[in-house]
Structure 1
Amino acid sequence: MQNKGAIWLFTILLVVACLYEMSFSFFTGGVEAEAKVVATQKLDSLIAESGEEMDLGTQDSLFQSFEADYLVTQANVEVVPFIGTTYKRAKEKEINLGLDLQGGMHVTMEVSVPALVRALGSNSANPTFQKALRMAEEKMVSSQDDYVTLFGQSIIEIDPDFKLAAVFHNMNNKEKFPRDADNAAIIQIIRLEAEDAVKRTEQVLRKRIDNLGVVQPKIQRLTTSDRIVVELPGIKDPKRVRKILQGTAKLEFWETYDNNDIYELLGEINQILKVKDSIANLSKKDTSALAVLDDFEQLPAEEEDTEEVLAEEVVENDSNATGNLFSDLANPSDSTSDSTSNLAASNVSNPLFEVLVPALNSDENGQLFKVQGPVVGYATVNNMKQVDAFLAGSEAKAIIQRTVGRGKIKFLWSSQAFDDNNQFYQLYAIKVGGRNAEAPMEGDAVTNARVDTDPLGNPEVTLLMNSTGAKEWADLTAKNVGQNVAIVLDDFVYSAPTVQTEIKGGRSSISGRFSPEEAEDLANVLKAGKLPAPANIIEEAIVGPSLGQEAISSGLRSFILALIIILAYMIFYYNRAGIVADIALLANVFFVFGVLTALGATLTLPGIAGIVLTIGMSVDANVLIYERIREELAAGKGLKTAISDGYANARSSILDANITTLLTGIILGVFGTGPIKGFATTLIIGILTSLFSAIFITRLIFEWQMSRNQKINFSTKLTQGAFKNLNIAFIPRRRIFYVISSLVVLAGIASYATRGLNYGVDFTGGRSYVVRFDEAAD
């Protein structure tokens, strides 16, 4: 055997490297086992102190919290001796377990290119533009082309002479889209913008996930698509993750109206809705009443007297009813029936104010007065959509246009409930100005965000701005001294502080009813930046830690059982040579785990299946070699010559078989995702290590044994002549086998034609749940 010394050196170095890489898993496992002990002790102590029974869900939540707290304290503690590696660093270097083994969340996100194109066109209402957008979305269902290509094709189909520059060369994008550019150039610019949006979305998501503190997350864009795969091991709060991933983080600073200016407006809207409801309850025969609504909607702006009378009526009605509105809204089941019966009996209902509590307060004498500030009303979460519908209706739009002007106001909800019972959300009146209805200032100027505490010790988020943003903020606050400025994120008002004086230095804060975790999430999202386009979750899989542990146990059982059977069979069939094959097989498994750890690859359940497959392939190589050696021995050659010739003659067959499988594994690894990629990764590593183990390690052992004159047997008494004279007449009976094969093929074709394939949720979409019951369920 040539280069024996080099092969020995490489083998020793490979063993040392694998031991080093796998040692981190051993040390982190010790810390985590200790964390479980500490968490159990704290939980038992808490239960004993409370003296009350605690449900399993609460116990599990507390246990996880105690365990996580302990691991946080160990993050910077040295756990690996000699080299001084901390627990946090060791955790990053240990073998990666997939979501199916340790639990977590798998999400596939898709960047909304249609929304991006609309935004680039400044949401133009041009009918050709809007029709092309809809047509392109419809085509995507059955086409393999990307959205931008389909959008360009739709424009040509609708109007070949239409100029896209007329839409995209606007106040916001006139530098990106030249006025004289043809449609092909415009489409190319849109394509580049879409590509850039996907890349920036991936970067923003990576920053947000890094701020979450997830160990070994995976963020990967799928090749030539607008989709991004996110895998977050160990996640225990999926709702929080969805909110962080999907939030566009569009930060805006808006001027606001005062409630004193808007209350009469809301009263008018309520009154016209009241009239509309009254007409709806009149007899259909009384057609003259239908003209009342038409006349009201057509009132000219000059008829101030009528509006004042209507406002007075609303205030009078509200003074009698507003005191009970909070309790009515908080108990909709009690108020709904009463409201319905009252509406049927009379015409004194308040459609808007039944779902929106006006921003009123009462003095010592019980007299109602309007609350100052940008908050104009309150509603429960169940009524918010109804309020939005009323305010977006044609009746409300007509009154708003006549009172404050078209597009001069918009209503936004608070991000959180403001009362102690978390029932009521505040409605803010936002002042809209400018040609494009944009905020006076946006979050692009924010350079950093951090969590601080206000004078009362409550969490708040402090914003730091660049020089341009500092100047804009100073101008905005100077203009609104004594007024409120709303800080809006993704169309929800987080706070609306009153400006006491001009604020210089580019510093602001967002306060609210935040928990420390919510404040931290908000700061992290703002630091990471806003998404260039909306990103929607189109596929989601959540694996609980208990199912993950069961997957590990079942996977290990199958792996160990397969290993034991193969080890025993090799010894039974090949005697002492079988022991050598078993040593090579165990070395192969060791190398697979070592290389997986070193490369940072992820071990999944399909990956374990790939390892089991490579075990069989590794033994297959040894079987080919041993059978060749037995043939050489039967031909009368000496042991040393037979071993040398056996390896030489079997090498080509082994390489052919493994290379074809290796190519298949590479294709699966390049084009596959998720479980397929996990299987391909372990398969590729296993093929390479099994080739090394079967060809070189077994040869080294045989060389060592022969140098010490040890006896080497390649069969036992039971297997000495096994299958030697076996002769199956396949060729003479080929016609019979042709018929059998044809019948099997035809049966398969008929089954496919009649029954088809049973597609899983991977192909059909939908949800798949795996639930384990502690007890047998009927």
Structure 2
Amino acid sequence: MQNKGLIKLFAILFGIVSIYQLSFTFVTNKVERSAEEFAVQKISEDTEDYVVKREAEETRYLDSVGNTTVFDIGLTSFTYNEAKEKELNKGLDLKGGINVILEISVKDIIKGLANDSKNPVFNKALANADKAARNSDKPYVDLFFQEFDAIKGDTKLASPEIFANKLLSEDVNFQMSDNEVKPVIRRKVDESIVSAFEVLRKRIDRFGVTQPNIQRLGATGRILVELPGAKDINRVKRLLQSTAQLEFWETFKNEEVIQYLFQVNERLKTLVGTDNKVEDSTQQSGSESSELDELLADTEKDSLESMGGANPLFDLAVAPGAQGGPVLMSFATKDTAKVNSYLKMREIRQLIPSELQNARFVWSKPGTNQEVIDLYALRSNRENQPPLSGGVVVDAQQTYDQRGNPAVSMQMDGKGAKIWEELTGKAHRQGSFIAIVLDDIVYSAPGVTSGPISGGSSEITGQFSLNEAIDLANVLRAGKLPASADIVQSEVVGPSLGQEAIDSGMMSFAIAMSLVLIWMMFYYGRAGWFADVALIFNIVLIFGVLAGLGAVLTLPGIAGIVLTIGMSVDANVLIFERAKEELAKGKGQKQAVQDGFGNALSSILDANITTGLTAIILFIFGTGPIRGFATTLMIGIATSLFTAIFITRLLIDWYLGRKKSLKFSTDITKNLFQNINVDFLAKRKISYTVSGIFIVVALISLFTQGLNQGVDFVGGRSYQIRFEHPVNPTELDGDLSGPLGSVEVKTFGAANQVKVTTKYKVDEEGGQVDEEIHGILYKALQKHLPDGLTEAEFVGSGGDTGGYGIVQSIKVGPTIADDIKRNALWAIMGSLIVVFLYILIRFRRWQFSAGAVAALCHDVLIVLGVFSLTYRFMPFNLEIDQAFIAAILTVIGYSINDTVVVFDRIREITSERGWKAGNNINLAVNSTLSRTLNTSLTTLIVLLAIFIFGGESIRGFMFALIVGVIVGTYSSVFIATPVMFDTLKNKGEDVLKKKESETVEG
């Protein structure tokens, strides 16, 4: 091997850099352990809410040492904060936290650009686009244009009542055609989404988690946000979804509205009578009716019909508002929907006196007990435009009010300061109040007692917790979103589950690593030792590269690394087997090693390139943890090639240079797989029949039983819930099927843990539905939960509670589920096409490609069939989700790896000796058996270790790989090779005759 000195230097530098990158992780872990110990010593378990308080103490400790030097290497030093930025990033499934995909409402953006147009054609086109979007992957703006063109008639996009308005006066004029307006709107929509991205980025930067990840997904309105380590999930969702639409409104006083409320109560007595009949009162008279009116649910009507009572409105009131104040009445939070439905009834709206015609009824922020909420009436106008909006706010800070309670102070720009002074002056003269409204919720409604407020400063007070005040200042400072942001996909992992994943992942890693190291020493003796050293160095490089690139380590990523351990052994196995062959031919040690490495190189490169291609496809089409798996697999392939080809060679050359003998086997294994002569091709009819039967059974099962599709592919919500004691899933199914409708409850791992899947209100967006489902789950399952476990603790926002309650939740909207399914199909089809083309280019015969792809299709169908046949009774989860697609692509990569090695030997032998009616093909297959079985056995040992010790969440993924490796090993010999032979047989014989003729003539 030439340039040994350069390779040694490069290996040493590579190793030092990797250890350097990993050292930051060890340093930060040490500091964080100290923080944890400090918190445990300061807060005893006897303290109320000790878990939450310990977390707060840990945070304070880490903040205090943030700028303290914790890592000094002589030439330079690093503070804790600097080291934290360089540590190995852990993903959600290892650290806990939240991963969401937000979809910015392009519909809201278009409505805003049209200045909330009332044009019927415009609104009809939006409604039609909503319907079309459910079954299309086209951008919403394109669907809107498509629907508008279908119904527009003489209406133009550049009409004054649509886009030729004041807002777009510089970009759109009356003379423009629709085709000229469309690119303008597309650009404006894209600018709004970019603006939303920047707003969210600013909010997240100030949230306080380390290593947040935010990225825009292609040209869509979707934004991926990942916050590892975030624990208060409800707080995160509020932060992400709050549009931060800040408005300042004058309010009506209590006495100005109370008479109307008396009239409302009296009229309701006749509408909600003893005959339980209610007129269809949800439609307003006249042309306009709000979307809320149209969407009033039948269940709310039913509740009105069944009420009756002396005072339908006043009986719901918890307390009247103070006379002269802005609060009209206080109600229980649970009754707000009912009060809203009363106030929106057509007969009730007809009672509004002229002085209240523009009144807008809104609710306050819930109080500290979350059970009582106040009703206000704002002095609105025909345009529904506030006198002052949040666009004038240039800064906001969390402060404290005069009583020492958390508050938020704001500073306005010059224009805002002038309007604020006029507004507060008017309120002072009239003795009225100014409501500070954020996203249609009144946070406070102070009076102005000391005259006009100049300078543009103001303060928002209310019953805030410290975090709420911090978050409110954060969103105001970052600015408002240009449109609503809905969570269309989310994954929440509790911190306790993350720690369990780390423990189980590292245990499986250690066991798999140990088994592989022992096997290599057992099978190859001293050469196995050298392979083990190269393998350990390979692991150091993988982790070092991950840390250096800032990549995220996930549980599937650990699986990818452990799988790399098994697969990377393949390169050494190929080299050692070829070296043994050369020694058997009588060559000297050094020459045998040199030829062994040289002859194996082609197979090693082909096998790793094809696996790498499938990993690249997986990276392109995958998201989140699956992309992490692909990342580690690609890095592992690269480092495995380097260590197997160069590091192992350096060690062997060093050993031989000391005049020592190297046998590449032990006394037990030296004669294994020797002189094997199986006629595989003669048995191909049997293999075709057996495989055909399996495929037919698989197809019948797929068409009759189908697959257990997870929420990734069908949409819905799933919750992994842990209880203190074992539970009966059938009993829980009965408890939940009433309030949630169709629900599936299955034991997930241990008997005290279940997975609940539901499609309840899957089409509805917003945090209210999530909170509703959390409430239903908590109420229905409370009898099985530990005593004293609150709802906040149950859903994971009240601190760690020993891991009980919801430890993981996943939500996937139906639209994004279709996209995931489509991407999965493209990923599988793309990998098959890429493999076909690579084999075609490499072997220059389509028959080799046909054999390889036939084997891959065979493997995929068998794995799918096994999942279809067994998912109903297997004691672990066999859902078809994104992780399963990753497993299928990995099976494709592994199978093609195996097939390429066999094909490579066939090409080598037949090019030297010809076909001879398939005898040399059998010879080639027999010569690779040792390598095939060795690699397969090693890989299976690794996979079984992860399957047994790697945790429940990854067990189905590992099962797919185990089945895939077994089937892939079989198909390389009994499907790929026979198919190639049968399609190439005649041509091969022609080539042979031609060669024999040329030999005779010569």
Distance 1:283 1:247, change over 3 A: closer
Q: Is it true that 1:125 corresponds to 2:113 in the alignment?
A: no
Aligned partners of 2:351 and 2:175: how far apart in 1? 41
Distance 1:776 1:405, change over 3 A: closer
Give the corresponding residue for 1:163: 156
Moved more, 599-608 or 156-165: 156-165
Equivalent position amino acid for 2:43 in 1:
L
Q: Is it true that 1:85 corresponds to 2:52 in the alignment?
A: no
Aligned partners of 1:767 and 1:384: how far apart in 2? 26
Q: The residue matched to 1:732 in structure 2 has which SS?
A: helix
Equivalent position amino acid for 1:84 in 2:
S
The answer to whether the Cα contact below 8 Å between 1:265 and 1:403 also exists between their aligned partners in 2 is no
Give the corresponding residue for 1:442: 389
The answer to whether the Cα contact below 8 Å between 2:321 and 2:330 also exists between their aligned partners in 1 is no
Aligned partners of 1:95 and 1:137: how far apart in 2? 43
Distance 1:739 1:276, change over 3 A: closer
Aligned partners of 1:405 and 1:178: how far apart in 2? 38
Q: Is it true that 1:578 corresponds to 2:528 in the alignment?
A: yes
Distance 1:384 1:736, change over 3 A: closer
Moved more, 763-772 or 229-238: 763-772
Give the corresponding residue for 2:374: 426
Aligned partners of 2:180 and 2:326: how far apart in 1? 46
Q: Is it true that 1:519 corresponds to 2:469 in the alignment?
A: yes
Aligned with 1:69 (options 31, 46, 60): 60
Query: 1:629 Cα shift?
Result: 1.5
Structure 1 length-normalised TM: 0.85
Aligned partners of 1:609 and 1:372: how far apart in 2? 66
Equivalent position amino acid for 1:163 in 2:
K
Aligned with 1:237 (options 201, 210, 232): 232
The answer to whether the Cα contact below 8 Å between 1:356 and 1:387 also exists between their aligned partners in 2 is no
> Mapping of 1:389-468 within 5 angstroms?
389-400=341-352, 402-404=353-355, 406=357, 408-417=358-367, 423-433=371-381, 436-468=383-415
Identical columns (%): 47
Distance 1:241 1:699, change over 3 A: same
Give the corresponding residue for 1:18: 18
Q: The residue matched to 2:721 in structure 1 has which SS?
A: coil
Q: The residue matched to 1:404 in structure 2 has which SS?
A: helix
Query: 1:172 Cα shift?
Result: 4.0
Give the corresponding residue for 2:38: 38
Q: The residue matched to 1:481 in structure 2 has which SS?
A: helix
Greater RCO (CA < 8 Å, at least 6 residues apart): 1
1:163-203, Cα deviation, whole Å (9 max, x unpaired) = 23332333444444322332233333332232222222222
Distance 1:102 1:272, change over 3 A: same
Give the corresponding residue for 1:182: 177
Aligned partners of 1:340 and 1:664: how far apart in 2? 62
Give unmatched runs, 5+ long, in structure 2. Answer: 287-302, 729-1002
1:425-459, Cα deviation, whole Å (9 max, x unpaired) = 222221123x5221111111111100122233222
Give the corresponding residue for 1:137: 130
Aligned partners of 2:321 and 2:43: how far apart in 1? 48
Aligned partners of 1:605 and 1:195: how far apart in 2? 35
Moved more, 751-760 or 165-174: 165-174
Q: The residue matched to 2:681 in structure 1 has which SS?
A: coil
The answer to whether the Cα contact below 8 Å between 1:411 and 1:427 also exists between their aligned partners in 2 is yes
Q: Is it true that 1:529 corresponds to 2:524 in the alignment?
A: no
Q: Is it true that 1:488 corresponds to 2:483 in the alignment?
A: no
The answer to whether the Cα contact below 8 Å between 1:96 and 1:600 also exists between their aligned partners in 2 is yes
Q: The residue matched to 2:315 in structure 1 has which SS?
A: coil
Structure 2 length-normalised TM: 0.66
1:101-144, Cα deviation, whole Å (9 max, x unpaired) = 12111212111122222333333333322222221111112222
Moved more, 221-230 or 488-497: 221-230
1:529-574, Cα deviation, whole Å (9 max, x unpaired) = 1111100112222212222222122222222222122111111221
Aligned partners of 1:271 and 1:175: how far apart in 2? 53
Q: The residue matched to 1:145 in structure 2 has which SS?
A: coil
Aligned partners of 2:7 and 2:257: how far apart in 1? 85
Aligned partners of 1:133 and 1:724: how far apart in 2? 73
The answer to whether the Cα contact below 8 Å between 1:357 and 1:378 also exists between their aligned partners in 2 is yes
Equivalent position amino acid for 1:254 in 2:
W
Give unmatched runs, 5+ long, in structure 1. Answer: 285-289, 299-335, 344-348, 362-370
Q: The residue matched to 1:231 in structure 2 has which SS?
A: strand
The answer to whether the Cα contact below 8 Å between 2:321 and 2:327 also exists between their aligned partners in 1 is no
Aligned with 2:200 (options 184, 205, 221): 205
Q: Is it true that 1:260 corresponds to 2:207 in the alignment?
A: no
Query: 1:604 Cα shift?
Result: 0.7
Aligned partners of 2:351 and 2:563: how far apart in 1? 73
1:623-648, Cα deviation, whole Å (9 max, x unpaired) = 11112212222222222222222222
1:78-119, Cα deviation, whole Å (9 max, x unpaired) = 221344322222222111111111211121211112222233
The answer to whether the Cα contact below 8 Å between 1:604 and 1:678 also exists between their aligned partners in 2 is yes
> Mapping of 1:267-286 within 5 angstroms?
267-277=262-272, 280-281=273-274
The answer to whether the Cα contact below 8 Å between 2:333 and 2:366 also exists between their aligned partners in 1 is no
1:743-763, Cα deviation, whole Å (9 max, x unpaired) = 222222222222222211111
Aligned partners of 2:341 and 2:112: how far apart in 1? 24
Give the corresponding residue for 1:377: 329
Query: 1:282 Cα shift?
Result: 7.8
Larger C-alpha radius of gyration, 1 or 2? 1
The answer to whether the Cα contact below 8 Å between 1:259 and 1:359 also exists between their aligned partners in 2 is no
1:674-695, Cα deviation, whole Å (9 max, x unpaired) = 2220110000110111011000
Q: The residue matched to 1:771 in structure 2 has which SS?
A: strand
Query: 1:575 Cα shift?
Result: 1.3
Q: The residue matched to 2:337 in structure 1 has which SS?
A: helix
Give the corresponding residue for 1:322: none
Superposition RMSD on alpha carbons, in Å?
A: 2.6
Distance 1:23 1:178, change over 3 A: same
Query: 1:359 Cα shift?
Result: 4.8
Give the corresponding residue for 2:315: 354
Aligned partners of 2:142 and 2:271: how far apart in 1? 47
Query: 1:17 Cα shift?
Result: 0.8
The answer to whether the Cα contact below 8 Å between 1:155 and 1:162 also exists between their aligned partners in 2 is no
Query: 1:773 Cα shift?
Result: 4.1
Distance 1:624 1:416, change over 3 A: same
Aligned partners of 2:365 and 2:454: how far apart in 1? 27
Moved more, 174-183 or 750-759: 174-183
Aligned with 2:101 (options 99, 105, 108): 108
The answer to whether the Cα contact below 8 Å between 1:355 and 1:386 also exists between their aligned partners in 2 is no
1:352-391, Cα deviation, whole Å (9 max, x unpaired) = 3333467555xxxxxxxxx213322222212222222222
> Mapping of 1:532-551 within 5 angstroms?
532-551=482-501
The answer to whether the Cα contact below 8 Å between 1:358 and 1:376 also exists between their aligned partners in 2 is no
The answer to whether the Cα contact below 8 Å between 2:318 and 2:332 also exists between their aligned partners in 1 is no
The answer to whether the Cα contact below 8 Å between 1:148 and 1:187 also exists between their aligned partners in 2 is no
1:504-540, Cα deviation, whole Å (9 max, x unpaired) = 2221111122222211111011111111110011222
Moved more, 192-201 or 616-625: 192-201
> Mapping of 1:613-624 within 5 angstroms?
613-624=563-574
Aligned partners of 2:726 and 2:503: how far apart in 1? 20
Equivalent position amino acid for 1:532 in 2:
P
Equivalent position amino acid for 1:413 in 2:
W
Aligned length: 699
Distance 1:431 1:12, change over 3 A: same
Query: 1:586 Cα shift?
Result: 0.6
Aligned partners of 1:591 and 1:86: how far apart in 2? 25
The answer to whether the Cα contact below 8 Å between 2:589 and 2:661 also exists between their aligned partners in 1 is no
Aligned partners of 1:539 and 1:515: how far apart in 2? 28
Query: 1:460 Cα shift?
Result: 1.7
The answer to whether the Cα contact below 8 Å between 2:408 and 2:459 also exists between their aligned partners in 1 is yes
Query: 1:593 Cα shift?
Result: 0.6
Query: 1:725 Cα shift?
Result: 0.5
